[in-house]
Structure 1
């Protein structure tokens, strides 16, 4: 077993975060990286690592997509390992999936909100040097334990990183098993319902839900069409064209929550990979706010005590709001807003609209006022 000292502690806390890492700025108080070396590429090592996947304990095992070299791909693999799905290949992807910085911000926000404390990366010898640097940046930000399983010789890019950070090495299957199953209990609630994933994509015969009636304030343009990633107009199905079976009640107090909201929560967890979009769909399912109203919504602050969003959100929705807030805190300052949780533009509105539909949620029918002659 070997160990290596790390460099100097960083001079500042990460704010307005980008997934960049420097060997000269690493925190020596972080948990050492564990390198599990499998020089003979024995399947038992990968099987043992994948069996260590225990989300309720804050431990996530990740099997990276083979031969995926784009900078965003490893972030997508982490998000998928958390039980979330990106759109299948035949669906136009959200804009952020092609942006490495935004993909890693989403992974970082979920990591912190879900209290993930340990990532186990299988076949780490196959990921690129760029991926490793992004992973090191995530480690610095979230202070996770990091275990890398290397099957074969340690690649030069990884060896260079290990020379700069504290690490220790394991080279027997027995020691690997012991290491992978010694995490302390996570702070995650014991009955956390989202770890029970739902179908993806949604089956054609899945029950549809009608969102609560759209609130009158703030004003907006409810008939504005959304534009797909292909640039073509699209509308979510309304009750006129696709009548769902059940209408969700508006969330005015905890006593009005429908038991169907747990089903909605599971759909959001499985089918929406971006934390802000997931939080937005959750708020829509509880309040009926439309995509044009979301960017105008406010939360209570000392400077602006009046708020549009309820303060007594159920736990599953509050966790999503926390993930969205963490994500916003990682953005450049001019994108953030202390009193507006959904400060996003047209592209995000489109993505939220399509994410709503992916959860088989539809807007309530809006009655038009009669025009006076």
Structure 2
């Protein structure tokens, strides 16, 4: 048998994760679904559920958008409940927000990366059968506990679903409070793994400063100017006036454990304003290194087989987590067989960005009030006297 050359590209293809579910393929070891029924629509049930929202303990309460029946909308609601904002309605949204499979992959990537172990869904009687199917697919993939609060008669689709899976029923307010007020200990020290305190204002007020990214590195080579966000009607960089001070230059990252206040401000913006994990990670890397969008698809991360890489071996915790989320999302898209070395599958290149996605990253960069570093002035040559 001829051995595979070290630099050969594997032909193995793995299918992406899709939010589809069938009762014939339900894992019986998953936590049972909890159904809380509130036939009289008492406000105390919703109040108790909202008070049970404890991200540090892996529990997220979601209040779905009323009358939003499109398959992607519930995924958006879950992503927002995780503290990630989608673009405001008056802007041209990225393509993935209208695609149900893409939107649910984003939700699944955050759920897995942030170790979310319990979703509490309020007013579950209003979500559609398609939403229930996608929720069940998310439950199967991430093994999260699912609590559904039904304020009124359970719909037919939900009743049919519960007949096929293990579940238990709560129909009194004291029992609901006991269930929702059970607070497990945090799985990890979230103060160092994920900054739940990040709450940048959304959208940013006009007086929030702009920051200039570090200078563009020479390597890897790219095509400068190949992408822009002008197609979205946004300027590529701010135009300072008498009332708008020039962008603040971000300082060099000298210690990953003690970031500057400016880096902390930018971290808050990225975690709050960018819902797509790959785009958020890309903006974080641009913030720390100065790489432009055309260079991102060529960047390599260090691996045991190839420790020399474009990306630093150590990153601040807030940025490392975003890179982890981007990796999980890439795996969900079916790009990286995990049993093969990263340099053979392309997993050491964290940003598989098309031209359209590079435009999305450029737009997300501007949304966080980040602009390319000003071009260095070329020294003028003196003319020698004749």
Query: TM-score, normalised to structure 1's length?
Result: 0.90
- CA offsets, 1:106-158, max 9 Å, x none? 00111111111110000000000000000000000000011000011111111
Change (3 A) 1:287 1:339: same
1:166-202 Cα offsets, whole Å, 9 max, x none, are: 1000001111111012141222434353334110011
2:250: which partner in 1? 248
Partner of 2:202: 200
Question: For the residues of structure 1 that align with 2:190 and 2:335, how far apart are their CA atoms?
Answer: 36
CA distance in 2, matches of 1:45, 1:152: 12
Q: CA deviation at 1:369?
A: 6.2
Instruction: Give the superposition deviation at 1:261.
Output: 1.1
Deviation at 1:243, TM superposition (A): 5.3
In the alignment, which residue of structure 2 is the partner of 1:4? none
2:83 paired residue number: 83
Deviation at 1:248, TM superposition (A): 1.0
Alignment match, 2:34: 34
Match in the other structure for 2:213? 211
Contact 1:226 1:233 in 2 (8 A): no
* Closer/same/farther in 2, CA of residues 312 and 35 from structure 1, 3 Å limit: same
The 8 Å contact of residues 58 and 188 in structure 1, kept in 2 or not, is answered as no
Picking from 322, 325, 328, the partner of 1:323 is 325
> Are the aligned partners of 2:23 and 2:164 in contact in 1 as well (CA < 8 Å)?
yes
Deviations 1:189-220 (Å, cap 9, x if unpaired)?
Answer: 34353334110011111011111111111122
Aligned residues: 357
Aligned to 1:291: 293
Structure 2 residue aligned with 1:121: 121
The ranges of structure 1 where at least 4 consecutive aligned residues each deviate by more than 4 angstroms after the TM superposition are 231-235, 238-243, 368-372
SS of structure 1 residue aligned to 2:16: coil
Q: Does 1:281 align with 2:290?
A: no
Paired residue secondary structure (1:364) = coil
Mapping of 1:143-222 within 5 angstroms?
A: 143-191=143-191, 192-222=194-224
1:340 aligns with 2:342: no
TM-score where L is the length of structure 2 = 0.87
Change in 2 beyond 3 A, CA 1:306/1:101: same
SS of residue in 2 equivalent to 1:136: helix
CA distance in 2, matches of 1:122, 1:56: 20
Q: Distance in 2 between matches of 1:255 and 1:169?
A: 47
C-alpha separation in 1, matches of 2:127 and 2:257: 49
Aligned with residue 315 of structure 2, among 306, 313, 316: 313
Query: Structure 1 residues 92, 115: CA separation in 2 closer, same or farther (over 3 Å shift)?
Result: same
**SS of corresponding position for 2:287:** helix
* Rounded Cα–Cα distance in structure 2 between residues aligned with 1:290 and 1:15: 30
Contact 2:31 / 2:143 at 8 angstroms: preserved in 1?
Answer: yes
Q: Is the 8 A contact 1:239 1:362 kept in 2?
A: no
- Per-residue CA deviations over 1:249-306 (Å, capped at 9, x if unaligned) read 2336537842321111111111000000111111111111111111110112344332
Contact 1:114 1:188 in 2 (8 A): no
Residue matched to 2:374: 365
Further displaced range: 298-307 or 130-139: 298-307
For the residues of structure 2 that align with 1:367 and 1:102, how far apart are their CA atoms? 40
**Contact 1:115-1:186 within 8 A present in 2 as well:** no
* Distance in 2 separating the partners of 1:111 and 1:151: 26
List per-residue Cα deviations over 1:81-126 (Å, max 9, x = no partner). Answer: 1111111111110111011111000001111111111100000000
**Aligned CA distance change for structure 1 residues 125 and 300 (closer, same or farther; 3 Å):** same
Larger Rg: 2
